[in-house]
């Protein structure tokens, strides 16, 4: 799913990342028009980047590069400045824009989905199930969040909607046992993809992180190569806290890919740059709403355009 094949998705991303008139580019253009670049313009750009959750380190790096080009008289006005900024953001994001590819030689391809409560984890699993069943793959879901009955119910709804099969146990069951049974069943039934949910973790709680590590170890007992992907779901509205979560989950369970959700909320998306710069983890997907259509592969060029242009077409 690329920006070419799903143009509507990235049009919605532009609209939701920045409300009308609120894009980084449109704000600066409104303030300064065709004015030549001076200290006030650069200071305002710095303020806008920080407000968009880009973070101090990335903001300073971006501005250093722009100031150097201004000093060399390579950038004349605000329009040129924004064009250069967009190119720099794209260059920063391209290395992490790595779609998740299902390896057919690893069957079932096992995806362990982790993240804190409220990040959109269960909804993301449903959207993945929708994506892969539409591609003709046989998908099974493991209801590993055994402490929250609503999570199993929600997965059941997605399973019915998408044609995926749900493996669940009684509330309060051992999550590792659910994972073991689900992977065993997925192997015996010839599933192509197994997507395993986990309880929403408060990342600072060591014993809960240890439970996640146990789930991972148990999957490895059924298939030594599993899980083939550890997908961390992050709420973009959490800003710099999402970055902290990513660091801690990576240390605990070896995250191999990210999903950034809720970019339709108050976040302006800058946290994506901070995560790309600090962690260099593949960003697999982004979510901009609750519907299955509000979910797509991360595209560096389209995202940079959305962040700078805002509501402009």
CATH (domain of 202): 3.40.50.300
Please tell me whether residues 127 and 77 are part of one structural domain: no
- pTM above threshold 0.85: yes
- The answer to whether residue 303 is domain-embedded is no
- The answer to whether residue 187 is domain-embedded is yes
Mean pLDDT, the chain cut into blocks of 10 residues (313 residues total)? 55 65 69 84 92 90 95 90 94 96 96 92 94 96 90 94 95 93 97 94 72 94 96 89 89 94 71 90 90 86 83 45
- The answer to whether residue 101 is domain-embedded is no
What is the model's pLDDT at position 266? 53
What is the model's pLDDT at position 139? 98
Are the C-beta atoms of residues 270 and 294 closer than 8 Å to each other? no
What is the model's pLDDT at position 101? 95
Please tell me whether residues 168 and 230 are part of one structural domain: yes
CA-nearest of 50, 39, 51 to 81 is 39
Give the CATH number, domain containing residue 88: 1.20.120.140
What is the model's pLDDT at position 217? 96
Residues near 201 by beta carbon (within 8 Å), at least 6 away in sequence: 114, 115, 116, 117, 208, 209, 212, 249
- The answer to whether residue 307 is domain-embedded is no
Please tell me whether residues 120 and 92 are part of one structural domain: no
**Which of 96, 120, 135 is the last residue in one of the domains?**
96
The whole-angstrom separation of Cα 246 and Cα 192 is 28
The whole-angstrom separation of Cα 179 and Cα 176 is 5
- The answer to whether residue 214 is domain-embedded is yes
CA-nearest of 113, 115, 108, 169 to 139 is 108
The whole-angstrom separation of Cα 108 and Cα 229 is 12
Please tell me whether residues 133 and 179 are part of one structural domain: yes
Please tell me whether residues 254 and 120 are part of one structural domain: yes
Please tell me whether residues 186 and 52 are part of one structural domain: no
Please tell me whether residues 116 and 38 are part of one structural domain: no
Please tell me whether residues 152 and 279 are part of one structural domain: yes
- The answer to whether residue 69 is domain-embedded is yes
Please tell me whether residues 37 and 186 are part of one structural domain: no
What is the model's pLDDT at position 312? 47
Alpha helix stretches (DSSP H) within the chain: 7-17, 24-32, 39-51, 56-71, 78-93, 121-134, 149-162, 175-188, 206-222, 240-253, 271-279, 300-309
- The answer to whether residue 158 is domain-embedded is yes
Q: How many residues does the chain have?
A: 313
Please tell me whether residues 146 and 63 are part of one structural domain: no
- The answer to whether residue 309 is domain-embedded is no
Q: Centre a 10 Å sphere on the Cβ of residue 139 and count the other Cβ atoms it contains.
A: 27
Please tell me whether residues 174 and 227 are part of one structural domain: yes
Q: Give the domain range for residue 233.
A: 109-297
Please tell me whether residues 79 and 121 are part of one structural domain: no
Domain count, the chain: 2
**Which of 61, 96, 131 is the last residue in one of the domains?**
96
What is the model's pLDDT at position 41? 92
């Amino acid at each position: 799913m690329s920006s070419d094949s799903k143009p509507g998705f990235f049009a919605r991303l532009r609209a939701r990342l920045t409300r009308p008139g609120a894009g980084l580019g449109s704000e600066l253009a409104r303030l300064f028009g065709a004015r030549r670049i001076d200290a006030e313009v650069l200071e305002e750009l710095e303020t806008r980047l920080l407000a968009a959750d880009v973070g101090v380190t990335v903001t300073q790096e971006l501005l250093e590069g722009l100031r150097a080009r201004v000093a060399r008289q390579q950038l004349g006005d605000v329009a040129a400045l924004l064009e250069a900024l967009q190119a720099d953001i794209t260059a920063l994001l391209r290395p992490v824009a790595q779609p998740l590819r299902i390896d057919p030689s690893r069957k079932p391809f096992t995806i362990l989905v982790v993240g804190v409560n409220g990040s959109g984890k269960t909804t993301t699993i449903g959207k993945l199930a929708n994506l892969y069943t539409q591609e003709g793959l046989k998908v099974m879901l493991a209801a590993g969040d055994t402490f929250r009955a609503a999570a199993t119910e929600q997965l059941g709804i997605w399973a019915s909607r998408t044609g995926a099969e749900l493996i669940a146990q009684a509330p309060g069951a051992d999550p590792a046992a659910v994972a073991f049974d689900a992977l065993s069943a997925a192997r015996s039934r010839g599933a192509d993809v197994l997507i395993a949910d986990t309880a929403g973790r408060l990342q600072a709680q060591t014993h809960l992180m240890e439970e996640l590590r146990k789930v991972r170890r148990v999957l490895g007992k059924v298939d030594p190569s599993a899980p083939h992907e550890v997908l961390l779901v992050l709420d973009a509205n959490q800003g710099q806290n999402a970055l902290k979560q990513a660091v801690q989950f990576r240390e605990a369970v070896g995250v191999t890919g990210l999903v950034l959700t809720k970019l339709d909320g108050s976040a302006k998306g800058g946290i994506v740059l901070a995560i790309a710069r600090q962690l260099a983890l593949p960003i697999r997907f982004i979510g901009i709403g609750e519907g299955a259509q509000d979910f797509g592969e991360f595209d560096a060029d389209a995202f940079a355009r959305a962040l700078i242009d805002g509501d402009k077409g």
